[in-house]
Each structure stands twice: as structure tokens, then as C-alpha cells.
Amino acid sequence: MNVGSKPLPYGRQTISDADIEAVVEVLRSDWLTTGPNVVAFEQAFASFVDARHAIAVSNGTAALHVAMLVAGVGPEDEVIVPAMTFAASANAARYVGANVVFADCLEDTLTVDVDDVASKVTARTRAVVAVDYGGQPADLDELLKLTRAHGLVLIEDAAHAVGATYRERAVGSIADLTTFSFHPVKQMTTGEGGMITTNCVDFDEKARVFRNHGITTDHRQREQQGSFFYEMKELGFNYRITDFQCALGSMQLRRLSGWIDRRREIASRYAEAFAAIRGILPLSTLEDRESAWHLYVIKLDLELLSADRAQIFTELRSAGLGVNVHYIPVHYHPYYEGLGHRRGTLPVTERVYEQILTLPLFPTMTDEDVQRVVSTVKEILARHGG
């Protein structure tokens, strides 16, 4: 343990001087928002994830909300959402007045259990949200089979999974609507930011309208056409992203593949080192998909260890590792309890929640940083019989 060295966060952004220059250049230009850099970023992103359309928005939560709106989800509808996710995946369904039905996850990947989703489809179900937990895609083909059979929309919350692939296809090109987040802790950042991708032209057009107050043209288009006229067709929102954020996004996107390679390298070092520790149960990485490695999550073998997760968490934090827990099951939050969601209903999610810990993982970690995580985890688990 390196006493006195800076705590290692579980994730952090990488910003270069060239990124900063690109942002400053836009700040000196005519368009601070909805300008040429938004369009360029959308096109570059669509091409990166092999999607026909990409719509940039102000954050990943806005992307989920817009996805619900274009999918036509509304009051009285049900949306099936895994509970092992960030609250925003479920909240988006609530924004449009729908009821959330929580699904359990698989023990080995923490992605949604498709059989459990299938058992929860009713006549009111309108959409299913899949979350690519930690960066590893959910079972998208199985989910598409199910959603197609019932006429449901599959919304993939790929906030963890930019750059991931599923059966050789890029995440962003597979579900009916895929949403991404560019929060600084994710693999690439625009400060705050998000993206929706789709292959459906109708969804694309609707998303652009919902992003801009429900208005059919934007300020720049009207200026180019020399016209003041516009119509508000829907009750939309202001979910626009600025031009300078998109300049940053385009710069980040160019380096993304290299960053994911480094994340993968660190993940495999962790996997190798932890294979020898009995108290750690690794998550599975499946052969037919490539994780984008947003998070490195381990499960503690609580039957073997003499301490619980809270104790181990505290010791790792005091040793300077910025460990975290992803996630508190969404149905545990008071807001959802207030809606009648109960504990004891999702056995796998609830059990693994007690076991999970997220370790530091970001591309600028040095080999020494990785070694420090490995030896600190080893040392602390050894104290507790691991």
C-alpha cells in the first residue's frame, strides 16, 4: 500500500491540449450551440457505432427520456427495466407517466435475465430497457426476439457500452433505440452529454423534434432559410447540447478505441491476478460479445470471507482506492418503494448487490496503479480469510 499517494478514483476522464484547443476554437466562432460541430459529431458517432442516425442531446438521461417519447410510451403503459442499473434507466419511463416493472439480472454478468423479462410481459407492456452492465452488452438477440414477438420497443441503455460489440455488431446499431452518456466517468466525455442512435428514420425525426421544444426547425436552419416561421408540433424539451461540447466529443471519439484497448488490458490483468484469490468471484466475459469495459466489478464470496462488503469497502477506501458500488438496486430507492415496489422480489439482484465492488479502471492508469490495486485488494481480503 502506498501510504500518502493520491487516492485512485474508480474512473476518470482523459482531456488533451488538442481537446481544449478544439473547444476554445468553437468558443471564438459564431455558433455556441446547435452549429456545425453538433452535426459533425452526430455523423462521426453514427459511423462509429454503425447506426443510420445519431441525435446528440444534453445528457444520457435526456437521451433515455427522448427514447421513451419517440417509442410512444405513455401513462398506463408498462416498461420492463432491470433493477441492477443506475436509477435514470427507470426514471425515464416515469417521466412519460409509465409504470416501471423491474426485472432480475443474471448472476454471472449482471445483465438482465431475459426469461424474467419474458415472464413480466403483459398486455400493457410497451417497451423493454436493456442495460449493458459494466460495458458488456445484454443478450440483445434474445431480447429482440421477445420484443418483436410482442410488438414492443427495445431501448438499449448503452451508457456503459460505447465501443462494445455483440455478435460482431456494434452496440448502437442493434436495438430499436440505443442511448449513450458522455458523463466524465464514462469512456468518452463532453462534460455532460448524450446520444440516441437508431436505424429508423421516423424515430430519428421525432427525436430531433423532442430535443428542441417540439419545434420542427432549429434556429440555424431558419437563419439559413431567411425565415422566422416555425411550428411546435409536440410538447418537447430543451435537450440540446452545445457546439463546443460536440467539438470535444468528436476529438474524444478519435481516441476512444485506444482507450478501450487499454481498459481491456487492465481488465485482463485484474482477471489474471484475482483468479488466485478465493474470496473474489469474477463476473463472466462472454465469447460472443466484447465489453467496452466501463466498470471493473468483482463479487465477494461472502460465504468464505469473514467480513461483509461494507467492511471491505471501508478498508479499501482507507487504503486509497476509490472503490464504489454499482448499483444499489433501483427498487430499493425510497421513491420506488413509495410506488409500491418491494424488497424480496428480485432474488439475484438483491443477493449480488451485497457482494459487488467496483475497482478503479480508466485508461490513464499506469501499470503501477494497477499493481497497487491488485496488491491492496489481496492484502485486505487476506485479512478476512480470502
Ligand X SMILES: *Cc1c(COP(=O)(O)O)cnc(C)c1O
Q: Residues with catalytic annotation?
A: 186
With CB under 6 A as the contact rule, the residue among 13, 125, 136, 181 that binds ligand X is: 181
Computed on alpha carbons and rounded to an integer, the radius of gyration of the chain in Å comes to 21
Stretch that binds ligand X, among 134-142, 156-164, 168-176, 206-214 (CB under 6 A): 156-164
Q: What are 145's three cell numbers?
A: 426476439
With CB under 6 A as the contact rule, the residue among 159, 253, 297, 298 that binds ligand X is: 159
Minimum distance between the CB of residue 110 and ligand X, rounded to whole angstroms?
11
Q: Is 126 in the site for ligand X (CB under 6 A)?
A: no
Are 246 and 37 a contacting pair, CB within 8 Å? yes
The DSSP line for 284-343 is P--TTEE---S-EEEEE-TTT-SS-HHHHHHHHHHTTB--B-S---GGGSHHHHHTT--T
With 0-12 CB in 10 A as exposed, 13-18 as middle and 19+ as buried, what is 306? exposed
With CB under 6 A as the contact rule, the residue among 60, 82, 329, 363 that binds ligand X is: 60
Q: Is 175 in the site for ligand X (CB under 6 A)?
A: no
Comparing CB distances to ligand X, the nearer of 34 and 181 is 181
> How many angstroms from the chain centroid is the CA of residue 336?
21
Minimum distance between the CB of residue 88 and ligand X, rounded to whole angstroms?
4
Residue nearest ligand X, CB atom distance: 60
Binders in 83-122 for ligand X, by CB under 6 A: 85-86, 88-89
How far lies 149's CA from each of 277, 363, 383, in Å?
44, 41, 52
Comparing CB distances to ligand X, the nearer of 111 and 198 is 111
> What values do phi and psi take at 103, rounded to 5?
-110, 155
Q: Round to whole Å and give the CA distance between 70 and 195.
A: 14
Minimum distance between the CB of residue 62 and ligand X, rounded to whole angstroms?
7
Minimum distance between the CB of residue 3 and ligand X, rounded to whole angstroms?
32
Residues near ligand X (CB under 6 A) are: 59-61, 85-86, 88-89, 131, 157, 159-160, 181, 183, 194
